[in-house]
Copies of this chain bind each other. A is one copy, B any other.
Amino acid sequence: MTAHRVKFDVIAEPVQVVTGTLLTEAAHEAGIDIAQPCGGQGRCGRCALQVVGGSESRSSVRSRSTLRLSPEDVAQGYVLACQAVVEGDVSIHVPPQEALERRLTTDRTVAEVQVPAGYDPAIDQTIRRVALTLTPPSMDDQTDDWSRLQTALRQETGIGELQVSLSLLRKIGPVLREGEWEVTAVLNLESRGQKVEGLQSPISNLQSAKLIDLQPGHIPADAPLWGAAIDIGTTTVSVWLVDLLTGEVVQQAAEYNRQIRRGEDVISRIIFASKNNGREEMRRLVLESINGLLERVVKRASSEWRVVDDQQLATNNQPPATNNQPPATNNQPPATNNQPPATNNIVKATIAGNSTMMHLLLGIPAESIRLSPFVTAVNHIPPLTAREVELAIHPEAAVDCLPGVASYVGADITAGALSSGLDDSEQVSLFMDIGTNGETVLGSHDWLVTCACSAGPAFEGAGVEHGMRATRGAIEEVWINSDTYEPTIRVIGDAAPKGFCGSGLISLLAEMFVTGVIDKGGNFNTSLPTTRIRKGAHGLEYVVVWANEGVNRDIAITHVDVDNLLRAKAAIYAGFTVLADAVGVPLETVERVLIGGAFGKYINVEKAVEIGLLPDMPWENFHFLGNTAVLGAYYALLDEKQRARIADIASRMTYIELSADNSFFEAFTSALFLPHTDMSLFPSVAGS
C-alpha cells in the first residue's frame, strides 16, 4: 500500500496514511478531534473539511457522499471527513467549528429581517409626524382651537380633512397652550379604498387624515415613532416593534398564546369561547399575551432610546438634575408624573392571524367557523382603534387587522403569501405555514389556491411533552450516532438544554428513523443496545438528555410525541398533495417551496424530507422564511401598497374546503408513515 502525506493546516507536521484511509482517521492520527455527531454516517455535515491546493490535491481525496454539502461547498473543495478517503498527498484546511456551523447553516436559516429596499416614510407610510407652529389667538382672531389646528395643518401639509376622536378633542386646547402654540401632530393618512396610487405622491390636498396624537412643542425628530407588527398564532404570538421612521425592526418578542390553556387547536378554542363567558375570557387571554409582549419590546427599546437621550442631554451640558425645572418663560407646572406610558409611542398596529384568532381577539362570535358551511363573521375587518381593541398601545393608534380568505385560511396566510413573494412570481410555488393549522397555498402571479388542514401545535413545540418555543435552551438539532445511539445536540444560545423546538423535533424524528430507533410506523425499537430507549410514564421514549447539573430532569421524546408529530407532518403533506391534485399541477413541477413557521434559526431540509414533512425535491428549491405572517404584517405596516397587495391576494385566492374532500383523508392516512406509504414519492430517502 502506498503511503500518503496528509497536511492539516492546524498542525505543523503532516501525517502519513495508507490509501483508502478516511480523513477522520487521518485527523485522529494527527491528534485533531473532528466532531462526528451522526457517528460518521455522512448525515450531519459537521465534519466538513476543505481540500486546499490545485486540482492535483483535490483528486487525492475521493468522496463517497457529499449529501450534506451544497454544490458551492463542493466547488470550493469541501468534503465530509467521514465520507472522504485519502488517495494521494493532500493539504487540508480545518475550519473552526463555529465557522463551519455558520457556513453550513447559511442557506437554510431564516434571513435576518431587512428593511424593504427604498423604504421612504414620506411616501410609503400612512403615519406622519408633523411639527406645527400656530398663530396664537387674539381679540382680532377668535378662531376656535380645533379650526386653528386644522388650518395650520392644511398650510403645512395640504391635508383637507382631519378626523379626531372625542378623547383627543378634549386634549387639544390644553396641549396647544402648554406648547405655547407649537405642537407636534401624529396623523394617519387615510387610504381611499384599496386603490392607493394616490399615496405614491406626498400628501395631497384631497387627502383626509386622522389625528392620532398631539403633543406640546416640537419634539425631537429621533423621538420614538413606532408601529407594531403582530401575528396571533394559535400556538405562538409574535410582536415586532418597528421604527416607522427608518423601517427597522427594533425589537422582536414571542410567546405562547395564553389561550392555549383553553384548547390546543382552533376548534377547541371556539367551543370554549361559545360557552358561558368563554368569549370574553378568550379575548382577555390573547390580549394578555399581546399586551405583555408589547410592553416587553417597548421596555427594551425605551431603555435603548433613553441612553441616546441622556447622551444628548450631556452634550448640551445640561445636568439631568436641572432638567426637571420648567423654562423660565413657562408658567405652567411641569406635566411630569402622569406621563403617558412608553407604549403610547406605538401609533399603529398591523395584525395577522388566522380567522379564529382574529375573531377571538376582537370578541366576535366564532361559532360559525366550526359549523357547516364554515363561514366567518368577517374576513375584511374595518379599521379599528387600539381603544376599541384594548391593545396596550396609544389608544388612538390605528389597528389594521389584515384580511383573511375563509374560516381556515386567515390573514396569517394572506400576509405570508405576500412576504414569501408567492404572488409576485411567474414561477409556480408552494407556500406552506408549518404551524398549528397547516395552511398551504399553491400558485403564482396568475392564480392562487389554498387549503388548510389542522396539523396541531407539535411543530411549534406545543403538544409535545418536552416541546418549547425556539428560544434560548431549545434543542434545535439532534444527531444520533448510528452505532452507539448516543445523541449529539445543538442548543439555541449558550445555555443548558430545556426542551425541543420545532426544528429540533424534525431533526430528532428523522435521526430516530434513519438510525432505526423508530420504524417507519413510528414504533420504538426496544431491542437496540441502548438505555436511552426505555419505558417512561407515557409509554416508550427515547432520552436525548440525561438529567444533570443544568438539567433538572431527563429530556425525552415519547411515543405520544412521535404520534403527534407523525399526524402533524401527515396533515401538512396531505394538504399540499391534495391541493396540487385539485388544480392538476404535479408536485414535481413546483418550482419553489416557500416555508413559513415558528421554527428555530436552523431547519434541516434533508431531515424534513426524510420524515416526509416536505416533498422530495432538490434542496435549492426550498426557502425557509421563518414567521411569514408577522413578516407580511411588517411589510403592510410599513407600506400602504403592500397592504393593498394583501387585500388583493385575499380577493384572488380560491379556497378549497378539505372537509368536503374525501381525498384528503386518504392522503393523510398514506402520509402517516416515515416518510410515506408510497416510497416512490421519496426517491432520495429510498435510495440512501
Q: Which residues of A contact B (CB under 8 A)?
A: 137-139, 141-147, 161, 163-166, 169-170, 172-174, 177, 193, 362-365, 367-368, 372-382, 384, 388-389, 406-407, 655, 657, 660
Contact of A145 among B141, B363, B375 (CB under 8 A): B375
Q: How far is the CA of A163 from the CA of B378 in the complex (A)?
A: 13
Is B139 a contact of A372 with CB atoms below 8 Å?
yes
Chain B residues lying within 8 Å of A145, measured Cβ to Cβ, are: 368, 375-378
Chain B residues lying within 8 Å of A142, measured Cβ to Cβ, are: 373-375, 406-407, 655, 657
Is A139 a contact of B657 with CB atoms below 8 Å?
yes
Closest 7 CB pairs of A and B: A146-B378, A173-B377, A144-B376, A144-B379, A137-B375, A166-B388, A139-B373
Question: Chain B nearest CB: distance from A148 CB in Å?
Answer: 8
Chain B residues lying within 8 Å of A362, measured Cβ to Cβ, are: 166, 169-170
Chain B residues lying within 8 Å of A137, measured Cβ to Cβ, are: 373, 375
Q: How far is the CA of A211 from the CA of B172 in the complex (A)?
A: 29
**Contact A384-B138, Cβ < 8 Å, known A146-B377, A147-B379:** no
With A144-B380, A146-B378, A170-B364 known, 17 other A-B pairs at CB within 8 A are A139-B372, A139-B373, A142-B373, A142-B375, A144-B378, A146-B377, A161-B193, A163-B382, A165-B388, A166-B362, A166-B384, A169-B364, A169-B381, A170-B362, A172-B377, A173-B365, A174-B365
Q: How far is the CA of A378 from the CA of B147 in the complex (A)?
A: 7
Chain B residues lying within 8 Å of A406, measured Cβ to Cβ, are: 142
Chain B residues lying within 8 Å of A380, measured Cβ to Cβ, are: 144, 146-147
Contact of A375 among B144, B373, B375 (CB under 8 A): B144
Is A389 a contact of B146 with CB atoms below 8 Å?
no
14 CB < 8 A contacts A-B: A141-B373, A142-B373, A142-B406, A142-B655, A144-B377, A146-B379, A146-B380, A147-B378, A166-B388, A169-B362, A169-B378, A170-B365, A173-B365, A173-B377
Is A173 a contact of B368 with CB atoms below 8 Å?
yes
Q: How far is the CA of A193 from the CA of B163 in the complex (A)?
A: 12
Is B375 a contact of A143 with CB atoms below 8 Å?
yes
Chain B residues lying within 8 Å of A141, measured Cβ to Cβ, are: 373
Q: How far is the CA of A364 from the CA of B175 in the complex (A)?
A: 12
Q: How far is the CA of A146 from the CA of B375 in the complex (A)?
A: 10
Chain B residues lying within 8 Å of A407, measured Cβ to Cβ, are: 142
Q: Which partner residue on chain B sits nearest A374 by CB separation? A: B142
Q: How far is the CA of A388 from the CA of B406 in the complex (A)?
A: 33
Q: Which partner residue on chain B sits nearest A389 by CB separation? A: B166
Q: How far is the CA of A177 from the CA of B377 in the complex (A)?
A: 11
Chain B residues lying within 8 Å of A377, measured Cβ to Cβ, are: 144-146, 169, 172-173
Q: How far is the CA of A384 from the CA of B170 in the complex (A)?
A: 13
Chain B residues lying within 8 Å of A660, measured Cβ to Cβ, are: 139
Q: How far is the CA of A655 from the CA of B376 in the complex (A)?
A: 55
Q: How far is the CA of A146 from the CA of B401 in the complex (A)?
A: 15
Chain B residues lying within 8 Å of A379, measured Cβ to Cβ, are: 144, 146-147
Chain B residues lying within 8 Å of A177, measured Cβ to Cβ, are: 368
**Contact A173-B364, Cβ < 8 Å, known A166-B389, A406-B142:** yes
Question: Chain B nearest CB: distance from A404 CB in Å?
Answer: 8
Question: Chain B nearest CB: distance from A570 CB in Å?
Answer: 25
Chain B residues lying within 8 Å of A375, measured Cβ to Cβ, are: 137, 142-145
Chain B residues lying within 8 Å of A161, measured Cβ to Cβ, are: 193
Counting chain B CB atoms within 10 Å of each CB, which of A139, A362, A375, A655 scores highest? A375
Q: How far is the CA of A673 from the CA of B166 in the complex (A)?
A: 46
Q: Which partner residue on chain B sits nearest A383 by CB separation? A: B163
Q: How far is the CA of A177 from the CA of B373 in the complex (A)?
A: 13
Is A170 a contact of B363 with CB atoms below 8 Å?
yes
Chain B residues lying within 8 Å of A193, measured Cβ to Cβ, are: 161
Q: How far is the CA of A146 from the CA of B367 in the complex (A)?
A: 15
Q: Which partner residue on chain B sits nearest A657 by CB separation? A: B139
Is B376 a contact of A169 with CB atoms below 8 Å?
no
Is A164 a contact of B365 with CB atoms below 8 Å?
no
Chain B residues lying within 8 Å of A163, measured Cβ to Cβ, are: 382
Question: Chain B nearest CB: distance from A287 CB in Å?
Answer: 13
Q: How far is the CA of A406 from the CA of B376 in the complex (A)?
A: 49
Question: Chain B nearest CB: distance from A150 CB in Å?
Answer: 9
Q: How far is the CA of A641 from the CA of B633 in the complex (A)?
A: 43
Q: Which partner residue on chain B sits nearest A170 by CB separation? A: B364
Q: How far is the CA of A382 from the CA of B209 in the complex (A)?
A: 13
Chain B residues lying within 8 Å of A363, measured Cβ to Cβ, are: 166, 170
Q: Which partner residue on chain B sits nearest A399 by CB separation? A: B166
Question: Chain B nearest CB: distance from A11 CB in Å?
Answer: 68
Question: Chain B nearest CB: distance from A593 CB in Å?
Answer: 27
Chain B residues lying within 8 Å of A378, measured Cβ to Cβ, are: 144-147, 169, 172
Q: How far is the CA of A137 from the CA of B373 in the complex (A)?
A: 7
Q: How far is the CA of A671 from the CA of B521 in the complex (A)?
A: 105
Question: Chain B nearest CB: distance from A314 CB in Å?
Answer: 37
Question: Chain B nearest CB: distance from A438 CB in Å?
Answer: 19
Chain B residues lying within 8 Å of A365, measured Cβ to Cβ, are: 170, 173-174
Q: How far is the CA of A630 from the CA of B34 in the complex (A)?
A: 91
Q: How far is the CA of A225 from the CA of B381 in the complex (A)?
A: 28
Chain B residues lying within 8 Å of A367, measured Cβ to Cβ, are: 173
Q: How far is the CA of A138 from the CA of B389 in the complex (A)?
A: 31
Counting chain B CB atoms within 10 Å of each CB, which of A143, A165, A193, A364 scores highest? A364
Q: Which partner residue on chain B sits nearest A138 by CB separation? A: B373
Chain B residues lying within 8 Å of A372, measured Cβ to Cβ, are: 139
Counting chain B CB atoms within 10 Å of each CB, which of A165, A362, A373 scores highest? A373
Q: How far is the CA of A147 from the CA of B406 in the complex (A)?
A: 12
Question: Chain B nearest CB: distance from A358 CB in Å?
Answer: 11
Question: Chain B nearest CB: distance from A323 CB in Å?
Answer: 28
